[in-house]
Chains A and B, each alone.
Chain A
């Protein structure tokens, strides 16, 4: 699925979150979206998820133009996109296991397949043995990985990660990046918003840099500048 922004502007009242931004991300790419706080990174991610629509311009995901898509199609699209939210968005009154399985339920996976997938994904993010913990009983980094596990368990075509290393120590951050790279190698598009310049500079992937809502550069093997 191709993600395409076509002269996208997003305003919240007086605030201009994005202004005339255009880019295209192909299936299987790994893209960093960088920029200072308030530059509009989260806004890009939310537009892809169709949490809201652009004020001007068009956002395309696969065959769908999100400006004029049916509600049902949005939901179907979301089931193919995994998201690691900046604020996790785990259900506080459900255990880690229930939170992760929720994604499978929503996507309509058969129950016999659940335990195997759960075990796989818990191992992947290193949360084995924490199944019965509630989000409040997990550390910030563990919550972030829980959120990643929920995103990955449905084997999404696109993985959106908003500041996934924000709460992690450098070592764990690198483990997570290894994970994302692995997933990307399997063909999943990874779009990651971050201001961790260490990671961006080391991995040398495509970088889209935003500044006050404007796209300032889009480089193939970019650095954090």
Chain B
């Protein structure tokens, strides 16, 4: 919208904003908080569902071996496992390999590296199946070998835990965002209401000049939209900035799972959608406030 807008609304809105900067700041702050929460939630949900997809797509069991299990016994188990139906691969990870993986994962943390030697890390078997239903028999089989096997970790358990947390974060996050949205709505309603009250005499004059309701309302609606846009933009910028700043670390930590969006289009769409929601919230609040004051 240009300054040459027919009604000069942007100009009027600018007057309003400048005349009470602290109220405008408060309105922008609540919107900012709201979108800080919303954007964080979006990032979390995106990451979690990617994690979930990753693990769901991999029917795997990890069996950690007791230290007394010798090579022969282990080979025997591997052979027996491979002969079960629906098994794709059985991979042996020795203590040394486990240490290598550990070192790779924690290469930025010398303290953690110092404390760990190959001795403490257990060797393990990674069994992957064609699909999850074949894992039951694997479990039964491994149970019988409890003399050699310390612990069995099912990806299924991981998946269950992940999906539980995803659900919790979705529900809790939505509740928080809904609450913040409500607070933002009320605060902006009050602030726009105050501004309308401040401009009572101006509004009365406009009425006598024959200005329509919409003409009078427009600058206030625009004000609400501006609060929504600036607040959401700042919220997105802060969370987005942090995520971008730590992107290498985050990606390394979760590798090989891809927890951050890889294509810019998705980013753009998310940002635009959030801006639209912000603008809409501001508009809604301003409209509610002005409707009450202006339409009798």
Please list the residues of chain A having a beta carbon within 8 angstroms of any beta carbon in chain B. 49, 51, 71-72, 74-81, 83, 85, 89-91, 93-94, 101-103, 105-108, 111, 150
Contacts and interface: CB of A to CB of B under 8 A. Distances in A.
B145 interface: no
Contacts of B204: 89
B212 A93 contact: no
Nearest to A51: B208
Contact of B209 (A51, A102, A111): A102
A91 B215 CA distance: 16
A91 B206 CA distance: 9
A79 B209 contact: yes
Given A76-B210, A93-B202, 15 more contacts: A49-B208, A51-B208, A72-B212, A77-B210, A78-B207, A78-B209, A81-B210, A89-B201, A91-B205, A101-B8, A105-B7, A106-B210, A106-B211, A108-B6, A111-B4
Interface residues of B, number: 19
Interface of B: 4, 6-8, 15, 19, 201-202, 204-213, 215
A192 to B, nearest CB: 17
Given A91-B205, A106-B215, A78 B6 contact: no
B202 A91 contact: yes
A78 to B, nearest CB: 3
Contacts of A74: 210
B7 to A, nearest CB: 6
Given A91-B205, A105-B7, A106-B215, A75 B19 contact: no
A111 B6 contact: yes
> Which of A71, A72, A83 lies at the interface centre, i.e. has the most chain B CB atoms within 10 A of its CB?
A71
Contact of B211 (A49, A75, A77): A75
A89 B4 contact: no
Nearest to B15: A93
11 contacts: A74-B210, A78-B209, A78-B210, A79-B210, A80-B210, A85-B208, A89-B208, A94-B15, A102-B209, A106-B206, A111-B4
B-side binding surface: helix, strand, loop or mixed? helix
A106 B19 contact: no
A152 to B, nearest CB: 13
Contacts of A91: 202, 205
Nearest to B8: A105
Nearest to B18: A93
A150 B7 CA distance: 16
Nearest to A79: B210
A224 B19 CA distance: 47
Contact of B206 (A81, A93, A102): A102
A107 B4 CA distance: 16
B206 A83 contact: no
B208 to A, nearest CB: 6
A200 to B, nearest CB: 26
Contacts of A105: 6-8
Nearest to A82: B209
A75 B210 contact: yes
Contacts of A78: 207-210
Contacts of B212: 72, 75
A141 B77 CA distance: 106
A223 B170 CA distance: 83
> Which of B7, B204, B205, B213 lies at the interface centre, i.e. has the most chain A CB atoms within 10 A of its CB?
B205
B209 A106 contact: yes
Contacts of B7: 105
Contacts of A107: 209-210
Contacts of A76: 210
Contacts of B202: 91, 93
Contacts of A103: 209
Contacts of B201: 89
> Which of A49, A90, A91, A105 lies at the interface centre, i.e. has the most chain B CB atoms within 10 A of its CB?
A105
Contacts of A93: 15, 19, 202
A105 B19 CA distance: 22
B6 A89 contact: no
A131 to B, nearest CB: 16
A185 B179 CA distance: 65
Contacts of A81: 210
Which 10 pairs show the lowest CB-CB distances between chains A and B?
A: A78-B210, A79-B210, A106-B211, A75-B210, A106-B209, A89-B205, A105-B8, A91-B202, A75-B212, A103-B209
Nearest to B209: A106
Contacts of B4: 111
A218 to B, nearest CB: 27
